[in-house]
Chains A and B, each alone.
Chain A
Amino acid sequence: MFRTARTNPGLDADETPRQVVERIAQSRARDRRRFRLEFIATWLILVGGLVLAIASTGRVHPDFMIEWAPFIIGGVSITIFVSVLSIIFATMFAVVGALGRLSTVAPVYATATLYVSLVRGTPLIVQLIFWYLALPQFGIVLPGLVCGIFGLAFNYGAYMTEIFRAGIQAIPRGQIEAAAALGMTDRLTMRRIVLPQATRIVIPAIGNEFIAMIKDSALVSYVGIQETFWRASTTGSRSFRTFETLLIAALIYWVLTIGFSLLQERLERRMRESDVRI
């Protein structure tokens, strides 16, 4: 049987290669466990230290937090409702926008390009308040909820237009040639061959946009939607306890984004493992 060389330091001469491999694996596992432990410890020290430091000032009232937490948490459903509807509409804007950006018809291309440029070149908060407070000057009064969802969707749609455009352009030319060679029209090719494949490519990116959307949905409090952030800032400023309420809101958003990130990771892993390869 093969034995490891005696001259090799650190290796026991009586070990078989299999035993050496095993020992390396054990050592690696030990390193990983140690790293994880240190990671958790660091977080506990940082967060615990922060909590202790804040508590030691004696200016934070836990009773107030416990009293108002249920009201603020009640805004989570509205936050999610707004975010989900907005991402759906944004996706629709994005598909239309991407097709426009890929059009060879100049006016269509120009319109889509104007949309992307204008929306990406102005602050989201300006756009939201424009829909809510500036349009009424022309007699167009939209409910706050409509303004909020539409405004977010319109804004994110512009960013996602470029995501979809890239997704569509990532489809190999051969796919389109094969469809054309089978006698499919451009429209049919787009609908049955290109978009289904492009969608799979952009799903992770849409997930990222959704997580960003959850945070940006706090801005719709400015158009009168009583979601998480609105509840936090209102209750906070009324009783001059903004620190407590904002802390609650921040924690809520944090937990939400972590939750959806994990969900997205699992979805991506499932897509990778499935038969449907890109």
Chain B
Amino acid sequence: MSFLDHPGGFGPGGIGPIAPIPGFDTPDAVSVRDPYAKPGVLTPPGARPIVKVLGLEKFFGSNHVLRGCTVEVYPGETICLIGKSGSGKSTLLRCTNFLEEPTMGSIEVGGIRVDADPLNPRSRSHREQIRQIRLGAQMVFQEFNLFPHLRVIDNLIEAPIRVKGLSRDEAIATAEKFLDKVGLSDKRDEFPSRLSGGQKQRVAIARALTMEPKVLLFDEPTSALDPTLVGEVLIVMEELAHEGATMIVVTHEMAFAREAADRVYFIDEGRFIEVGPPEQVIDAPQDPLTREFLARTHGTGAHVHASPAP
């Protein structure tokens, strides 16, 4: 995306100078482990995590967005990141596939590890490693980001052909399989502008699946949807989770998190406040911040006896 980060163009021009910040201690990125991560029920013992986010720090200018986040995700696990808007959960997800350059820490996806290096332009080999990470960690965006000039089927075969080097026939066969999976075979030759929001997001999920990723990243996939269309997308996602897909989901849908997540991370001001299975974090939160957040989240894990914010 170098052409967007142009000094004469638009977009954030990288991070600003980092002043030493009082009370900001650097975690030893290598030795930190996610204490909550453990092989899930679907994972054989001794399995290695697919995603390792170690000691992630992110600044936007002098704004400290992520403060030492560590997450490990094992094959077959679904984890949900919840928190207020601006808490850093989307940034954490976007750092995982380097749509945002982390300030400190390291990311490992499918055995490829790239350390944060915001000050130097990425070398060719680094760029290639980042590309490999992105191939392994496919993202589904809040705003769908389908390519409007391509028909649905062409949206799905573009990257498999041009990036993975599949033949057109192979790519079409894979695309049709996943289009069928999200229940949109009949929209194969439509342009995205003719689809509803829910249909667009299901196509976007199919597009991510055609890359046969190791992990799926969902960045608030239902937040841009009309309330009546949220369900059809969540159904597809729950199905994926139950089939054993590895997923990291940033979401406000507590019902989904309760239903599909192996672990829920509640994040506030760039720190994990409470982490655990949904029965704990959503249904019986320990931390006052988590309680306050859940009480404000309409009609979900809000507990009647949760103490109001001071």
Interface set of A (CB-CB < 8 Å, partner B): 99, 101-104, 109, 168-169, 172-186, 188-190, 192-193, 196-197, 200, 275-278
Contact = CB atoms under 8 A, between A and B. Distances in A.
Contacts of B191: 275-277
Interface in B126-175: 131-132, 134-135, 138-139, 141, 143, 145-149, 158-159, 162-164
A173 B147 CA distance: 12
Nearest to A173: B4
B134 A183 contact: yes
B308 interface: no
Contacts of A188: 162-163
A178 B149 contact: no
Contacts of A177: 1, 99, 141, 145
B207 interface: yes
B310 interface: no
8 contacts: A102-B9, A103-B6, A168-B3, A176-B1, A178-B141, A182-B207, A197-B147, A197-B149
B290 to A, nearest CB: 30
Contacts of A174: 141, 143, 145
Given A173-B4, A192-B162, A180 B99 contact: yes
B4 A182 contact: no
A277 B131 CA distance: 29
Contacts of B147: 175, 178-179, 193, 197
A103 B8 CA distance: 10
B141 A102 contact: no
B5 A181 contact: no
A182 B194 contact: no
B11 interface: yes
Given A196-B149, A275-B193, A104 B2 contact: yes
A190 B148 contact: no
Nearest to B138: A181
A77 B131 CA distance: 52
Contacts of A278: 148-149
A190 B6 CA distance: 15
Interface in B274-291: none
Nearest to A182: B159
A277 B143 CA distance: 16
- Dominant SS at the A interface? helix
Contact of B159 (A175, A184, A277): A184
B211 interface: yes
Contacts of A172: 145
B99 A183 contact: no
Interface string B204-222: 0001000100000000000
B10 interface: yes
Contacts of A103: 3, 6
Contacts of A179: 147, 159
Contacts of A104: 2-3, 5-7
Given A192-B158, A275-B194, A277-B191, A182 B138 contact: yes
Closest 4 CB pairs between A and B?
A178-B145, A182-B159, A277-B193, A174-B145
B246 interface: no
A176 B5 CA distance: 12
B94 to A, nearest CB: 8
B97 interface: yes
Nearest to A174: B145
Interface string B16-60: 000000000000000000000000000000000000000000000
Contacts of B131: 183, 185
Contacts of B8: 101, 109
A184 B9 contact: no
Nearest to A177: B99
Nearest to A275: B191
Nearest to A109: B8
Contacts of B143: 174
Nearest to A101: B8
Interface in B71-112: 97, 99
Contact of A102 (B3, B138, B190, B193): B3
Nearest to B127: A185
Given A183-B164, A192-B158, 13 more contacts: A101-B8, A102-B9, A104-B5, A109-B6, A175-B147, A179-B147, A181-B138, A181-B139, A183-B134, A188-B163, A197-B147, A200-B149, A276-B148
A184 B146 CA distance: 14
Nearest to B5: A104
